Amino acid sequence: MRDDGSKLPFHFRYDGVSMVYTTEDSAKTPSQRPKFALAEIDAPRLDLALVTAVVAAEDALARLDERLRASPLRDGFCARTHFSDACASLWLAGELVHLEDLVLHDAEMDLRTPTHELTRAHAVLRARRRIAGAPPGRFLGGGLDELRGKGETAAPEQPAAFPVADVDPLGEEFAAIDAAIERSSRLLREAPGAASPLIQAATDPARTLIYDEDFDEAGRLADWRREVEATRELPPTLAAALALEAWRDTEPLEHQNWLGPLLVADLLRQRGKALSHLPCLNVGLRATPRERRQSQDRTTRIGAALDAIQAAAQAGLEELDRLALAEARFRRRCQKLKSNARLPDLAEFVLSRPLVTAPMIARRLNVSARAAQDMAPALGLRELTGRTRFRAWGA
């Protein structure tokens, strides 16, 4: 404290980067403050809470990524965590999606009609897989439209379901009708007095029920990207926490806000902190108390995001230890088998899924359902349902 009662400047250094807390910044109105200047955070609390949280998150995430870099279980670990993070994303939105239902839905073996929540969880799962399979940071820029399904991408060629031996006359007639309809529609769209697609979309009553015409997604995304770019000199985990906080404040997307934690996880890959996996931020946020995640205090929310990164990394380390023990047990079971035995293939499949069923095993290994039911106990898999029918096994 100075003699006049004002606070002294506070310096937070990381790899030569300095952030300064001054009385002049605290006197500014919220609209005049830089978006990510730490002026809203009290200096002693920043020193004790956020700095410690940054160090802990950096350490835990680095440990997990380094272990995965040299681990033969990396692919199986990443495949399993996609499922758990997708379920956690729906949990944060107030919806309950069972992990086994998501696994079966992904394998196209649903036991019942998929619910809307299950469909949304599968969309999160597919988005995670696309982000993890792309170069780091690809979807943080212009590739986001492609991830959302709004980009102009060529449709993949679909192979014919059945070989066509002879020409179908009825099929030719239908093809000619479809071509005539398409030509008529094109002529109507290009007519001089025809309304443009934008006007048609604006006057569509069904669209106004779903979309807000005043919602400026492009402008909000541009603002969020500028705020993320302003954190380039900060530690990766602190930058990720601030990017997550900015996504919460800005709400760039009108209907797909669940993409925020996935993009922030990709930001950690782009900044070089998680090169071997896509962090499961939703899993960490689920482990963080709601009171801290939705606190009115900005410092508490940023600290909760840092704790979520640490919790996600710690959960990943525990899962990797468990998979390593299971892999060692499977290896002992498969030591004296013949070279053409299928148990090693089953072990690899089990390590890449939270659970498996007899039809899933039969499809993956190209064996009968009866053989699949016999192979699961032979490998020492744990039965998860306690039933004699419609059983499922896990590692």
Question: What pLDDT digit, counting tens, does each position of 374-392 carry?
Answer: 787 787 777 776 666 667 7
| pLDDT grade for 254, boundaries at 50, 70 and 90 | confident
Q: Which residue has better confidence, 14 or 73?
A: 73
| Per-residue pLDDT at 202 exceeds 70 | no
Q: pLDDT at residue 195 above 70?
A: no
| Mean predicted lDDT score pLDDT of the chain | 75
Q: Between 147 and 5, name the one with better pLDDT.
A: 147
Query: In terms of Cα–Cα distance, which of 290, 322, 277, 350 is closest to 129?
Result: 277
Structural domains of the chain sorted by starting position, each given as residue range(s) with its CATH number in brackets: 42-145+211-323 (no CATH), 336-394 (1.10.10)
For residue 141, pLDDT over 80 is answered with: no
* Cβ pair 87, 121 in contact under 8 A: yes
Least confident range from 45-54, 260-269, 285-294, 318-327: namely 45-54
159 pLDDT band, cuts 50/70/90, is: very low
pLDDT in tens, 89-106: 999 988 888 888 888 888
Give the residue, 334 or 21, on which the prediction is more confident. Answer: 334
- Which of the 8 DSSP states describes residue 29? -
* Res. 303: pLDDT tops 60: yes
3-state DSSP helix/strand/coil % of the chain, to nearest 5: 60, 5, 35
Residue written as tokens 């929310």? 301
| pLDDT over 90 at 223, yes or no | no
CA distance 183 to 188: 9
pLDDT at 224 over 90: no
Q: CA-to-CA distance for 378 and 101, rounded, in angstroms?
A: 25
Give, as one character, the DSSP assignment of residue 40. Answer: G
